[in-house]
Amino acid sequence: MSLARYVAVRLLLVVPTVLILYTIVFIVMRVLPGDPVQAALGVHYVPPEELEELRAKLGLDKPLYVQYFEYLAGLLRGDLGESMVFQGRSVWEDIKDKFPATLELTLAAFTVSVIIGFVTGSIAAVKGGLVDRAMRVYGIIAYTMFIPWLGLMLIYIFSVELKLLPSGGRIDPRFIPRDVTGLYIVDSIITGDLRALASALEHLVLPALTLGIVLSGAYTRIVRVHLAEALRSEYSIAYRARGLRESKVLAHALRNSMVPVVTLMGLQLALLLGGAVLTETTFSWPGLGSFLVERVMYRDYTAVQGAVVVFAVIVSLTSIIVDVVYALIDPRIRY
């Protein structure tokens, strides 16, 4: 089977996952007790006619199964309805605006986590002994760190005390680069805008480091275990017996320990996106996570539902990338 067909099959398999998650979200948002319309309008008295009017406008007066399919049809068209609080604002447009910020943050954090994980894990596997134990402790502590706490501590050190880096935001608003991809780093490089690049980078450092460190714990652990195993393995002994330099033996062992690491990347996706919500809130990073939390506080249920459904789609689609990478690394996997 070709890689293209493999991707196509995986895409088909994503459909049930997205449907299941959509259904769960729908049940949570529309079936659980609570009157979203009343909640959205706050504690003040609102005449019942007005409530009914808003309900009808949002389609909340129809039977549940009709709502279920109408929303699903909207999702396929890229229409997630209208904000309940900010009247006239399309939820889909808002989410589209916020998405690049989240993508930029998660990509950077992912890179940081994998680099830290490989460096610490490799050191532990190669050195062994006390270093190995220290890295093991690092792995557990990094994993149990509460993201806002780590983020705020970094802000305290680097923004408040050392005054080196900004404490929040995504870029100095004066320097926003021309919009090409929506990723400020990429856009500023494409347009050759160095001031924008510098500003975007200095804003990205702390959030990416925060989320990256917390996620790195699991990579440290998995690299540590599997690299140590690979270095002791028979094929590594055979490489050495053929007179290969230790650096090359290490390189091949690293590649072999990539296989479980990619599996972990799949499992970590959820942590990456969940962590992004906390990181964005901590650093006032204007992404999907901040959007979600902000709208939760406004009790803007259509926006919350839209954001959660979009997260579900992102998780499902990204899992395909993981599968493809997996198949590319390991020739034993048949696709």
Show contacts with other proteins in window 61-120 (CB under 8 A): none
Q: Answer left, alpha or beta for residue 193, where phi above 0 means left and psi between -120 and 50 means alpha.
A: beta
Contact assessment for residue 302 and residue 310, using Cβ atoms and an 8 Å cutoff: no
Using rule CB under 8 A, residue 141 touches other proteins: yes
Choose between 115 and 190: whose C-beta lies nearer to other proteins: 115
Which 181-200 residues touch other proteins, going by CB under 8 A?
Answer: none
Which 280-299 residues touch other proteins, going by CB under 8 A?
Answer: 281-282, 292-293, 296-297, 299
Q: How far is CA 90 from CA 83, 171, 218, 297, 302, in A?
A: 6, 25, 38, 18, 10
Kindly state the tokens that stand for 100: 């690049």
* 250: number of Cβ within 10 Å: 19
Choose the binding region for other proteins from 99-107, 185-193, 204-212, 244-252 (rule: CB under 8 A): 244-252
Using rule CB under 8 A, residue 164 touches other proteins: no
* 313: number of Cβ within 10 Å: 15
Choose between 184 and 219: whose C-beta lies nearer to other proteins: 219
Q: How far apart are CA 166 and CA 168, in angstroms?
A: 6
Shortest distance, position 62 Cβ to other proteins, whole Å: 19
Choose, by CB under 8 A, the member of 64, 140, 180, 194 that binds other proteins: 140
Choose between 78 and 128: whose C-beta lies nearer to other proteins: 128
DSSP helix/strand/coil, 285: coil
Specify the DSSP class assigned to residue 178: P
Shortest distance, position 10 Cβ to other proteins, whole Å: 14
Choose between 49 and 161: whose C-beta lies nearer to other proteins: 161
Choose, by CB under 8 A, the member of 114, 150, 209, 211 that binds other proteins: 150
